[in-house]
Chain A
């Protein structure tokens, strides 16, 4: 599998992401969630959780948002042996980059370790899954201030599509007034 094929693969994980999107945010500690996993063991899950956080770090998001990424990876691994193998071997390789386990490294050292493996199928698998899982999560949208669908409010026509006031309004010849 080549790197950066995420759009193709995302089509496969989008079903999972849609399930995320329709659900509520998972609350609770990551290690409690990890007990739900089908394939990954606790150490693998904790490693992937830290990795997911370093790939798209947002201080305002708690671990539950990143744990969804681990759950999506686990779900895929449960049905695809190849994914399970990539994750298992990937975690093991991350633990070998320094003298201690990846989860015990400092944040800077974790980033440095990931930088070394960023062109591997393992990194690509986690990155491409997380890209959809994290940024299609409605709980994440809420925390980052992205509103998502507007159809249910009748669009933005009466909800601020042209409410910017820190610049002058263009003349009507360029931008006619709404009906």
Chain B
């Protein structure tokens, strides 16, 4: 494994090893660049993962204290855990379910297409689906997405059987086992899916793509990746010309070091990426790095979500097999007749008994709740993933008083549901209930959102520097050798699970960095 000197200013520093950072590291190493990959979490493996919901949560989740505000239900249900992302090598690709959907064409142009949604800070992306298509193709091949590249779909489990029958009975047309970055056949040195049922807890079979055991070891094999787990970046530093020069970080023993860099790429997931830029303020950049627009941390999006569970007279055993075992895409299409802008996907989801108790009714107790929990074997479940509206006031800000163990302000996450989000969720709950009632559900449970797994928009792309933080390549408008490499780049959220697009943007960003390097522009 490569080890580069702290003073080596020819390296590219990437902060975060998930879908964006892990992919970018591998792409850049294969282009001949030296990369230092800094990851806050520990290194785990398929051997250390456990099929145990609470154990895995403790092992993998980012549980550093955060605060919340706003009208969203999360502020009441999980006031100090607004997001459910990971602190581990591989980032949230260890936890993700594997759903790999492309954005739709109109979702890059929502300001134009939705023609004004009051209170929403909509903006068209500075790129098009056409520009991204070649990179989507590369990303789907990299991830081994089912139903692309002649890869067969996964076999559906019991949870999907219930969804399929209900969906087709209510008239939905496009219902299948999804486009999943989970092997239906052995491929790319990864096994086929064992249907373990613990996708969220780290895939012990390795059938699900994660940067942990694909991109990162392949980057290491080039001899050009210096992976440093358990390091916390505290500040991105710059010179008097406003060019990034490196990062200050703390290792697990609390020792502080500065790693010099020619380019710095931020891929810490949308809350921490914004927080890091804000915490990197200086006399030159008093409001935070790359924040001349004032948009760093703003326009935070987390998708309009919620879950619907149906209880049936006969067993389902929803927790057997892949968690996202199937999808209904009919509601994702552009359709302005439903009383809201944007669309949503309906994807199966399952919970084991421990998390069913924690999430089906947050803070629930008493006999009416345990009566529900006792029927966990007879439940089918689906998750709603819909486009939410960017709002300038929905923002990551630095807490005025509370600090973390390194003395830096913790983040506050503010989110007010937009009326469009509420209208979509209300409609989606009803349609989800229709699906399950059509196949005999005796009871429907509408479950409020879990802590957010999809976090986007806090350093958004914009054509004009005044509207956002980075350009169409993720390069910040203000600091030419500083890049945003995760879901923070999202101008708007789309209605699709974000990982595939994050990977796609990372592959494309690597090409851009190499080209700009060749032209000596960075």
A155→B193 CA distance, assembly (Å): 9
Q: A127-B363, A173-B176 are in contact. Are A166 and B314 (CB under 8 A)?
A: yes
Chain A positions 104-130 with a Cβ under 8 Å from a chain B Cβ: 111, 114, 118, 127
Q: Hey, which chain A residues are within 8 Å of B365, CB to CB?
A: 55-56, 114, 118, 127
Q: Is A175 located at the chain interface by the 8 A CB criterion?
A: yes
Residue of A nearest to B359 (CB): A7
Which range holds the interface residue count of chain B?
35 or more
Q: Hey, which chain A residues are within 8 Å of B366, CB to CB?
A: 54-55, 57, 111
Q: Hey, which chain B residues are within 8 Å of A15, CB to CB?
A: 58
Report B489 CB to chain A, min CB distance, Å. Answer: 28
Q: Report whether A11 and B57 are in contact in the complex, using a CB–CB cutoff of 8 Å.
A: yes
Cβ 8 A contact of B63, one of A2, A8, A134, A148:
A8
Q: Report whether B367 and A162 are in contact in the complex, using a CB–CB cutoff of 8 Å.
A: no
A79→B314 CA distance, assembly (Å): 46
Chain B 185-205: CB-based contact to A (< 8 A → 1; otherwise 0): 100000011111110000011
Chain B positions 22-58 with a Cβ under 8 Å from a chain A Cβ: 50-55, 57-58
Cβ 8 A contact of B353, one of A17, A135, A154:
A135
Binds A, one of B113-121, B134-142, B156-164, B388-396: B156-164
Q: Report whether A144 and B165 are in contact in the complex, using a CB–CB cutoff of 8 Å.
A: no
A140→B357 CA distance, assembly (Å): 12
Report B172 CB to chain A, min CB distance, Å. Answer: 11
Q: Report whether B52 and A148 are in contact in the complex, using a CB–CB cutoff of 8 Å.
A: yes
Secondary structure at the A interface, as helix, strand, loop or mixed, is: loop
Q: Report whether A162 and B161 are in contact in the complex, using a CB–CB cutoff of 8 Å.
A: yes
Q: Hey, which chain B residues are within 8 Å of A14, CB to CB?
A: 54-55, 57-58
Q: Hey, which chain A residues are within 8 Å of B152, CB to CB?
A: 176
Residue of B nearest to A137 (CB): B354
Chain B positions 302-346 with a Cβ under 8 Å from a chain A Cβ: 314-317, 319-321, 326
A87→B194 CA distance, assembly (Å): 45
Report A170 CB to chain B, min CB distance, Å. Answer: 4
Binds A, one of B222-230, B370-378, B400-408, B469-477: B370-378
Chain A 53-79: CB-based contact to B (< 8 A → 1; otherwise 0): 011111000000000000000000000
Top 4 nearest A-B pairs by Cβ distance? A155-B194, A175-B156, A149-B51, A161-B321
24 intermolecular pairs with C-beta atoms under 8 Å apart: A4-B79, A5-B78, A6-B358, A7-B63, A8-B80, A56-B365, A134-B357, A144-B353, A144-B376, A146-B319, A146-B377, A149-B198, A151-B204, A156-B157, A156-B194, A157-B194, A161-B195, A164-B158, A164-B161, A167-B165, A170-B160, A170-B165, A173-B176, A174-B176
